[in-house]
Structure 1
């Protein structure tokens, strides 16, 4: 659950469930939240699961299990995938080297199963794997003024410049770690990590001190990432082959041969995928799972759709056959087929570009 529910409630938040965690969904007017992020800066509590890996073999152990190279230097991170034996995405994660431990940030609901699975596979390695989700508060700071916002409240360090690198400092009396994100909202972005006991004070600092920022909820996060062309774990990634959803930058084909890498190699050797993730501008808002047609032939389905506040029109991501035509597509809305223009992602160009934009 959120570590600061009463604080969100004081800001007028409504709540719901996401990945088994209770989260703030919105703070009244979602369009106002959205435009605050796009024009200045917003703050949201991130609903991660957290796994801590310690022991002398921690880097090698995780590196041998995931799709990308785990950094060996303190202060660096990487976006990586855990693949099932068929090459489908079982879990996504950010893996950060924090000196004497690795911190893995997973989708909510995935930390427990991941820690259990890996713990059962430890043989002679010097590794300890624990779930630490409730020990941390994690806040996303996003918008064209995000760097200015962080600089106005971070003491003892300058905000990191490179994606997925981090620095340690303080905000008020609380110690924090500040990570430069990989631009999932299409804006400059940072994540501020603190102890759960300091989370209320850190959230207050981020919202009310220095350059003011607007709180925003999960629904606005989903709309922001959709406009940015970012596939999310729950809607686009889970169970799919990385090549299908365009995540080749999450696969390191240079790594040595081991069980996880053999899966990655099989993914690479599949050649052209059968489907691809594309952006659509439909004339009406479809639901998740709505069929996509080329003439009378069904060629895919919508994974996620929203009314874009920036475009004042519906936008959607869809998984379609790789050779589906560029023009003449329709989507089914309320039992009728409506035109859907296929467009290049992202839907809107902003202060940053998502590192997760599909590439083929």
Structure 2
């Protein structure tokens, strides 16, 4: 559950339940708020489960099981995946080197399972794994004016420049860690990490001090990331081979082995995965977004070529949009989306739909 529900309620939040967590779905007028974030800056609460990995062998231990090289220098991070034996995605995560420990941020519903699994695999290594989800709050600051917003309220440090690098500073007399994101919303972005007892003061400061930054919820976040061509866990990722999603920023083929690496490498060496991620643009207004409770078939000339994974109102596009996985060789400018309410005509769009003040590092790249 959010650690600052009272503040969200003060701003008119409508909540949704995700597993055992309650997060703001929206604060009213989500279409207007989405436009405000694209034009300036907004603030949201991100839901992460947190693992703290300590011990002299922590880097080697984590590096052996994730798809990217674990950073060695304090203040650096990477985006990585955990794969199963078939090389499909179990979950994604961010791994940060924070001096004498690694901080792993992953979906909250996976943190207990992964912590238990990692502990079972510690033998003679000097490694300890602790869950710390309840110790931290994480707030996102996103939009073309995100840097100015952070600079206006952060003391004792300047905003970090490199993606997934971080600095330590103060907001409202509380110690915080400020991470430059990998621009998953297609805009400049930062994540502010603080202790839960500081969360109320930090969130209130983010919203009301310096540049105005309205709060937004998961509905706007899903739309922003979809416009940016960013696949999200679990809807776009679970059970997929990472090459299919074009997630090149999550893979380091030069590092040591991880589960499923051989299969992923073979797909990479062939140069052509079985599917690729594309966008679909549909006709209609914000009330015409198709419901995707399950994957919807995508057809070209009456033949099923793939499936849509999620949809949202693309405010910057001015139309309902969706992400879809289609056959890699599919070459069509138009398709049909089969919904529960009938068939919908759609234009096929190479991702991202838009590039704002920054390009999402997760937007698909196929080489």
Q: Is the 8 A contact 1:18 1:108 kept in 2?
A: no
Cα separation, 1, equivalents of 2:174 and 2:15 = 26
Moved more, 260-269 or 55-64: 260-269
Cα separation, 2, equivalents of 1:134 and 1:317 = 33
- Asked if 1:283 is matched to 2:283, the reply is yes
**Which residue of 2 is the match for residue 273 of structure 1?**
273
**Map 1:132-147 → 2, pairs under 5 A:** 132-147=132-147
- Asked if 1:349 is matched to 2:362, the reply is no
**Map 1:137-286 → 2, pairs under 5 A:** 137-257=137-257, 261-262=261-262, 264-269=264-269, 271-283=271-283, 285-286=289-290
Q: Is the 8 A contact 2:40 2:145 kept in 1?
A: yes
SS of 1:237 mapped into structure 2: coil
Moved more, 345-354 or 74-83: 345-354
**Map 1:48-59 → 2, pairs under 5 A:** 48-59=48-59
Moved more, 117-126 or 284-293: 284-293
Deviation at 1:282, TM superposition (A): 2.1
Cα separation, 2, equivalents of 1:16 and 1:70 = 34
Cα separation, 2, equivalents of 1:100 and 1:193 = 17
Q: Is the 8 A contact 1:293 1:329 kept in 2?
A: yes
Q: Is the 8 A contact 1:67 1:260 kept in 2?
A: no
Q: Is the 8 A contact 1:87 1:266 kept in 2?
A: no
Deviation at 1:108, TM superposition (A): 2.2
**Map 1:11-160 → 2, pairs under 5 A:** 11-160=11-160
SS of 2:244 mapped into structure 1: coil
**Which residue of 1 is the match for residue 320 of structure 2?**
314
Q: Is the 8 A contact 1:43 1:142 kept in 2?
A: yes
Deviation at 1:239, TM superposition (A): 1.3
SS of 1:302 mapped into structure 2: strand
- Asked if 1:299 is matched to 2:305, the reply is yes
Where does the alignment leave 5 or more consecutive residues of structure 2 unmatched? Answer: none
Cα separation, 1, equivalents of 2:334 and 2:28 = 38
With over 3 angstroms needed to count, the CA separation of the structure-2 counterparts of 1:314 and 1:259, relative to structure 1, is: closer
RMSD: 1.5
Q: Is the 8 A contact 2:242 2:264 kept in 1?
A: no
With over 3 angstroms needed to count, the CA separation of the structure-2 counterparts of 1:52 and 1:263, relative to structure 1, is: farther
